[in-house]
Amino acid sequence: MPRLLPNFRLQSLRWRLLRAVCVAALLGLAATGVLTFRQAQHQAEEMIDGYLAQTARLLLALVPDNGGHLADLARRLATLRNDPSNPYEPPLEFQIGRADGSLLLRSQNAPDIPLATAPGYAVFEHDGQPWRMLNLQTTADGYRVQVVQSLELRDFEALEVAGQAVVPIVLISPLLLLLIYVSIRRGLKPLDDLASDVASRSPENLEPLTAQVAPLEAQPLVSALNQLLVRLRHTLDKERRFTADAAHELRTPLASVKIQAQVAQLSSDADDRQHALNQVVAGTDRATQVLEQLLRLARLDPLTGLIAPDNIDLAELARQVFAELRPPTATQAIRLAGSDAPLLVRGDAELLAIALRNLLDNAMRYTPGSSTITVFARQHNGALALGVADDGPGVPPEELPRLAERFYRGRDAHAEGSGLGLAIAQGIADLHQARLELENLAGGGFEARLRWVPSPTA
């Protein structure tokens, strides 16, 4: 029990879903941020390279027109140097010369690099720092221009631009996680409502849950819960019926036992006292029989099928039950009409023996003492049957449909009984996919049997 709450928290669907979605969202945002950063950094470097090329071409355009005033040009260009504090105006250094490599003009901080290098972009080191260089030359005038920029400043500017592109993603991440949390809570609200509905119910409220409000994924769960509620309601109804039946059926014999015990206490005559004690024993026997029958019903009611069915030989079962019983009167005869060949069915031998004993007990109680009772197991037209027949007066036809009802003993029944024997036999027949058939015989008498009808596909 102490570990139930931590396990429950770990298994919370909301937090598992929230954790999975948030992790996926954060990974997606991180991947987007990395790709955006790299793309922005690449674009910034391309723009700075373009700025180098643009500056180089402007210088090549200015030099031919100012060939005799290069010193003045150098002073003017020095006054137009970029503001070092502005990261978006990267400082550029340059050298201007002729095609033969002679130097004509250079900026104040330009690295001293020969002009006779190959045209195009290149990276070199100067004073322990990397620099980016672009060499251009004109074909007509033979001028060369070399524009350089510190890679350290260049990378800082590229990172600045790329970082500004990633900032919106970083700022929107908490809002996105909040929206995910709210969305998951709203999405799982039907489950919360379903849980609240179940939690708020009283033990007596076993009505089915409303399936329309639950999401599609929860419909199998709702359906299973409704089936469980139906089974639980049936079980509780059976328990209430069992309690009511027990109270009803045990009240009379227990009251009789109490009265006879009081008579025995107050009686001074030995014969009267012995008669009262005999009645106490008889009442106790009746209460015991009723209780046993009720307990059998309580055992059968919850079952929906046989737990461990096995192959049962009905002929052998009839012989065993016949050998165990004795007739209640000297004039009543009981005989066995079995089969030499095995009559096999799938079932529970103990339950089938109980059903056959109940049928035989009913026949012995409700037929005249001079009648003959037959216990049989037979096969006819492919159907197997196990039951009891007698040559007594039979049962009024209008009472036949009610004989298997609980506590129904017929209007003309005078023998002691609980009225549960045939109800128990009916329950056992249902568990074995058999039929309990009760009928008056054409030549006189009554027959009660469990009959297995073969299925059409058998």
Look at residue 399 in the predicted model and tell me its pLDDT.
81
CATH number at residue 263: 1.10.287.130
Residue 239 and residue 154 share a domain: no
DSSP string, 318-334: HHHHHHH---SSSS-EE
Q: Indicate if 342 and 424 belong to the same structural domain.
A: yes
Say if residue 90 is in the same domain as residue 235.
Answer: no
Would residue 45 count as lying in a domain? Answer: yes
What is the pLDDT, as a whole number, of residue 458?
Answer: 45
Co-location of 136 and 101 in the same domain: yes
Over the Cα atoms of the chain, what is R_g? 52
Please indicate, yes or no, whether the overall pTM of this predicted structure exceeds 0.85: no
Has residue 123 been placed in a domain? yes
Q: Which residue among 252, 282, 300 closes a domain?
A: 300
109 with 237, same domain?
A: no
Domains held by the chain: number? 3
Question: How far is the CA of 281 from the CAs of 98, 259, 413, in angstroms?
Answer: 138, 12, 22
271 and 352 in a common domain? no
Taking each helix axis from N to C terminus, what angle separates 314-324 and 349-366, rounded to the nearest 10 degrees? 50
HSE (CB half, 13 Å, CA atoms) of 208? 14
Q: Are residues 157 and 30 in the same domain?
A: yes
Q: Residues 6 or more apart from 53 whose CB is under 8 A from it?
A: 134, 136
pLDDT recorded at residue 200 = 77
Q: Where does residue 115 rank: exposed (0-12), middle (13-18), buried (19+ CB within 10 A)? A: buried
Residue 206 belongs to a domain: no
Determine, yes or no, domain membership for 392: yes
Please identify, among 161, 177, 193, the residue that sits at the C-terminal boundary of a domain: 177
CATH number at residue 445: 3.30.565.10
Residue 399 lies in a domain: yes
Residue-level pLDDT at 2: 42
Contact 226, 197 (CB under 8 A): no
Indicate if 348 and 285 belong to the same structural domain.
no
**Co-location of 95 and 142 in the same domain:** yes
Residue the block writes with tokens 């355009």: 61
Q: Please give the residue range of the domain that contains residue 231.
A: 216-300
Q: What share of the chain is helix, strand, coil (3-state, %, to 5)?
A: 55, 15, 30
Of 177, 208, 227, at which residue does a domain stop? 177
The answer to whether residues 296 and 316 belong to one domain is no
Average pLDDT for consecutive 10-residue bins of the chain (458 residues)?
44 75 84 80 78 82 68 62 58 78 77 77 81 80 80 73 77 84 79 76 76 72 82 76 66 75 82 83 75 68 72 90 66 77 87 87 81 88 89 83 69 55 83 88 88 69
Q: What is the CATH number of the domain that holds 38?
A: 3.30.450
* 332 and 271 together in one domain: no
Query: So what's the pLDDT on residue 7?
Result: 47
- Domain assignment present for residue 133? The answer is yes
Separation CA 225–CA 198 (nearest Å): 10
Are the C-beta atoms of 253 and 283 separated by less than 8 Å?
Answer: yes
User: Is residue 201 a part of any domain in this protein?
Assistant: no
Identify whether residues 286 and 236 lie together within a single domain.
yes
pLDDT of residue 304: 63
